[in-house]
Amino acid sequence: MRVGITGGIGSGKTTVCRVFETLGIPVYYADAEAKRLYSENKDLQAALLNAYGPEVLQNGEVNKVFLRSLVFGKPEAARKLNSLVHPFVFEHYEQWCLANKNKPYTIKEAAILFESGSYKRIHRVIGVVAPEALRIQRAMNRDHCSREDVLQRMQKQLPQDELAKKCQYLIHNDEGQSIIEQVRDLHRKLLEESTLDWPYLT
């Protein structure tokens, strides 16, 4: 069974994933893998070179500063870049799933699981949610940025209440409820459900 984990900025997706990993569940970190593919996948580099010209490569690697300058504050440009990158990430994820097919279930962590359409290759989705003020403070501390920067990034993401409605399970990372207990409870449920034949989400 394929499980997705998603949530807005500062929700604590990675923290939740680390707990699942301690239980022996493999986690595919989509954003980290995408960054790695920028450096290692020659076909992806060729696609970016064809789309953006020679400036996109620097010393044999993708010039991420140049790419960010192209898409920052430009939703249409960001969609174009995602349309080039996501197919390579999707293919890599499929190969990763095959390599981990002996596990009862696997997890794919992705900030834009719904926005990218990758939820369509997932059976169940966990949403990590937290109060907005806490999310803002976490992001400011982690990224050493201003409140305004975090709010701008939030505006580009699916609103948390809308995201929560799309998920089959929720984990509340509000510093009041135990993350470990919530993950353990959900792990037991997912182990039971992994024996069933779930369709992909639509």
pLDDT per residue as tens digits for the range 22-65: 999 999 999 999 889 988 899 999 999 999 999 999 888 889 88
pLDDT at 107: 98
Residue 116 clears pLDDT 90, i.e. is over it:
no
Six token digits for residue 16 = 């939740």
Q: What are phi and psi of 7, to 5 degrees?
A: 170, 160
Domain ranges in the chain?
Answer: 1-26+105-202, 32-99
pTM: 0.90
Which residues lie closer than 8 Å to 27 by C-beta, 6 or more apart? 5, 17, 20, 21, 106, 107, 108, 109
Q: What is the pLDDT of residues 74-88, one digit of tens each?
A: 888 888 998 899 899
- Per-residue burial over 68-102, b if 16 or more Cβ lie within 10 Å, else e, is eeeeeeeeeebeebbeebbebbeebbeeebeebee
* Per-residue pLDDT, 42: 92
pLDDT of residue 33: 93
- pLDDT band of residue 156 (cuts 50, 70, 90) is confident
The CATH code belonging to domain 1-26+105-202 is 3.40.50.300
Alpha-helical runs (H) found in the chain: 13-22, 30-40, 42-52, 64-71, 75-99, 132-143, 147-155, 160-166, 179-193
Q: Which residue type sits at 110?
A: A
